[in-house]
Amino acid sequence: MKSPRALMALLALLATALSLQAGHPLLLCDSGNNRVCKVSAEGKIEWEHPAQHPQDIWLTPAGNYLFCFKTGALEVTPDNTKVWEYVAPTNSEVHACQPLPDGRVMLVEGGTSRIIEVDRAGKIVKEIRLTTLPKISTHEQYRGTRKLQNGHYTVCFKGEHKVVELNSSGLVLREIKAPGDVHEALTLPDGHMLITCGDGHKVIEIDAAEKVVWELNENDLPGHPLRLMAGCQRLPNGNTVFVNYLGHGHNGEQPSVFELTRDKQIVWTLSVTNNFKAVSQIQLLDIPGDTTKGEILR
C-alpha cells in the first residue's frame, strides 16, 4: 500500500496532467537550488544565474533581470552582463526588491531593519528605518515589500504576522494582522489587498475596511494542499498565480506554482518534473506592462 505522502504526490501529478491550458513563460526564484531562472511556457529553463536563497525577481523595462538574494541584489542582461549591484552589510539579508520609475531600486533588509532606495551608482539615496520585536531573528523579520504608486510602502513583517503600511516618510499608517507569517501583500487596483500567509497555509483578500472578502484554505484544492504560501501575481483576467513554497520536506510532491480562478479552479500548473526546489517568487512574462509603474500586479 502506498504511503499517504506518496498518494498525495500521485494525486498532484494527475491534477497536473489534467491542466489543459497553455503554460506561462516566467521568471522564478528557485531558492532550493540557489538560482534564478527564466522558464519557457513549456517548462524548459532558458536562462539561469546563481543566487543564494533568492527571494524576488523582476523583468525591467530595459529587458534585464533584477533579483535579490541573501547578501544583496543584482541586475544583469540576458547574457549575464552585470549592469547594477548592491552588496548588503554583513549579517543582514535582503528579502525583497523592486525597480522604481526613477531608475532606483527599492530593497528591504533584515538585520539592519530598513527599507532603502539605491541609485544606479549603488548609492543609498533614501532610508526608512523599520522596528520589529527584538526576539525576531534576521531571517524571520521581513518578506514581500512594495513601494506603491502613491509613494507609500507595504511591508510584510514575517515574524510578527502582520502587514504594515508606511507613508513616504516612514510614518506607520496602519497595521494589518494576518493568520500566518506573511510573505506577500499585493495592493490591488480596487483598494483590496491580497495577502499570502506563509506557514499559515492560507491566502486572504481583504477590502479597504480590512474585512476578508475571499480566502483560500489549506485543503481547498484537491491534490494541491497549501504548504508555505509565498509569492503571487494577479492577472488581467482576474485569475491569480500563486507560489506554494515546497521547502520544509515537501519538495517534488506537487506543483509549486499554479494559476487559480476566483472560484478556485486550477487552470495551469508549473510541472513538477523540472527539478525546481522551493520556488519563492515569480513574474509571468506574457503579461504586458511596465514593472516600474505598477502595471504588473505582484
What residues pair up with 266 in beta bridges, in sequence order? 260
Asked whether the predicted pLDDT for residue 286 surpasses 70, the reply is: yes
Asked whether the predicted pLDDT for residue 124 surpasses 80, the reply is: yes
What are the b/e assignments for 211-249, b being 16+ CB within 10 Å?
eeeeebeeeebebbbbbbbbbbbbbeeebbbbbbbbbee
Q: What share of the chain is helix, strand, coil (3-state, %, to 5)?
A: 10, 45, 50
The Cα–Cα gap between 31 and 234 comes to 22
- For position 253, what pLDDT does the model report? 85
Asked whether the predicted pLDDT for residue 15 surpasses 50, the reply is: no
pLDDT (average), residues 47-66 = 97
- For position 21, what pLDDT does the model report? 53
* Domain ranges for the chain: 4-284
Asked whether the predicted pLDDT for residue 162 surpasses 60, the reply is: yes
Give the lowest-confidence range in 14-28, 68-82, 227-241: 14-28
- For position 3, what pLDDT does the model report? 54
Q: Which of 30, 72, 297, 79 is nearest to 184 (CA)?
A: 297
When the pLDDT of each residue in the chain is averaged and rounded to a whole number, the result is 92
- pLDDT over 70 percentage in the chain: 92
Q: Report which of residues 43 and 229 the model is more confident about.
A: 229
Q: Which of 35, 110, 113 is nearest to 80 (CA)?
A: 35
230-283 tens-digit pLDDT = 999 999 999 999 999 998 778 878 999 999 999 999 999 997 667 788 999 999
The three-class DSSP label of residue 106 is: strand
- pLDDT over 90 percentage in the chain: 86
Asked whether the predicted pLDDT for residue 61 surpasses 80, the reply is: yes
Query: Between 2.40.50.100, 1.20.1050.10, 3.40.640.10, 2.120.10.30, what CATH number should domain 4-284 receive?
Result: 2.120.10.30
The Cα–Cα gap between 215 and 202 comes to 7
Measured CA to CA in angstroms, residue 257 lies from 27, 185, 243, 266 at distances of 12, 17, 5, 11
Give the lowest-confidence range in 25-34, 159-168, 269-278: 269-278
- pLDDT tier, 5 (very low <50, low <70, confident <90, very high otherwise): low
| Stated pTM of the model | 0.91
- pLDDT tier, 11 (very low <50, low <70, confident <90, very high otherwise): very low
The three-class DSSP label of residue 188 is: coil
